[in-house]
Amino acid sequence: MGLFSKRNEQGEDGHMELVEHLAELRNRIFRMMGYVLVGMIATYNLFPVIYNILFAPAHVVLAKLPDAKPVFRGIQDAFLLRLETCLFAGIAVALPFIIYEIWAFVRPALTPEERKPLRFLAPFAGFLLLAGAGTGYSALPSAYGWMALYVSDVPDATVLQDAKDYLLLTVKILVAFALAFQLPVLLLFLSQIKIINSKMMVTYWRHAVVVIAALAAIFTPTNDPATMLLMAIPMSGLYLVSIVLVKAFEPDANGRSDGKVFQKFLVSLVPLFLFSTVSFWLYKNNPVEAAQKSGGIKPTVNVKRVQQMIDESLAKGTKTDAPAPASDDLLKRIDALETRIKQLEAKPATQPTPAPEQPLGTPAQR
């Protein structure tokens, strides 16, 4: 089976052989790796912009500490930082294509009834993913600011933040929030395989809130109270939304689940509301602008503006041909010295004439 060959849906007995399944899985994994590679190449030159976005919360905090700054522990870390940043950015860019490959592999194994909720959940989960990542990013300034308060416990201490460690920690926080916001999708899946139902979720909602708080404490990479609350509170609200979502897809007395359009419509507005709220907060409280105002990071270089400044400088240099006064005096001294050297070299060498000998006189005269 070729890398881009079409899938053989059924064999002679109506099913694909195990070898064919493995071959198709291999091809789809190779394609997903290709998507990530293309995403890395596409985002490689965008590293300054991505760096400013990811490192802005840290620069806001570091600007308030004495002599604090990001550092590298080795000469190779700068290149590795850029490579890892482009890797994470490439995965984010290729994520829709990766999800499509997974869906294309799983789809033939599902019945038409099992596919119906997935058509609704695709955009639903996508907006929840973006809302979760945005909430995690909005939690970074408070999380890092809370941790920076303990630096003053050690006298004369400062922070030399390793850039690679910061990148990994930040990505962990964003991924943790993005996955935590997929709670409604997980609960709907459990309801579809008959493990839970809406009545059970209503009965045990207090227990669910306690479990959510415990999971937020476990899966928060920084373990600070601000980040834990920012994860636990939205997850608790999403649990209540999940009750309505599970109820909307439960079959009625006739065994049909095609109705309840109004409930599905209300539930579909929740991710849009969360995504809009997070986007508005980031627009009003942009960490990148705050970092630039604090002097932590510089704005992205405008290549055209730099070239214009160079051209203007060269133009001014051609207009002023007169050297500076100190340089003019030095040049005159050098010219005079060279002229004197040439005169001395051109003058013929003459032997000095000996003085006439004086008579010695008598001893008495001497």
Is residue 129 included in any domain, yes or no? yes
Domain membership flag for residue 295: no
Within a domain: 38: yes
- Cβ atoms 4, 28 nearer than 8 A: no
Confirm whether 208 is domain-assigned: yes
Residue 347: pLDDT over 80: no
pLDDT at 302: 47
What percent of the chain has pLDDT above 70? 77
Residue 190 lies in a domain: yes
- Asked whether residue 327 is domain-assigned, the answer is no
Lowest mean pLDDT among 65-74, 83-92, 132-141, 260-269: 260-269
More confident residue, 29 or 302: 29
C-alpha 198/C-alpha 273 separation (Å) is 23
In total, the chain counts a number of residues equal to 366
Q: Indicate whether 343 belongs to any domain.
A: no
Please name the residue that has the structure tokens 């999403």. Answer: 238
Q: Domain limits at 47?
A: 18-286
pTM as predicted: 0.72
Q: Mean pLDDT throughout 167-180?
A: 92
pLDDT in tens, 228-248: 888 899 899 999 988 988 888
In angstroms, rounded to a whole number, what is the distance separating the alpha carbons of residues 173 and 226? 13
Considering the domain boundaries, does residue 73 fall inside one? yes
Residues 6+ apart with CB under 8 A from 215: 180, 235
What's the number of domains the chain is made of? 1
pLDDT of 298 reads: 54
Region 266-281: mean pLDDT is 85
In the chain, the percentage of residues whose pLDDT exceeds 90 is 26
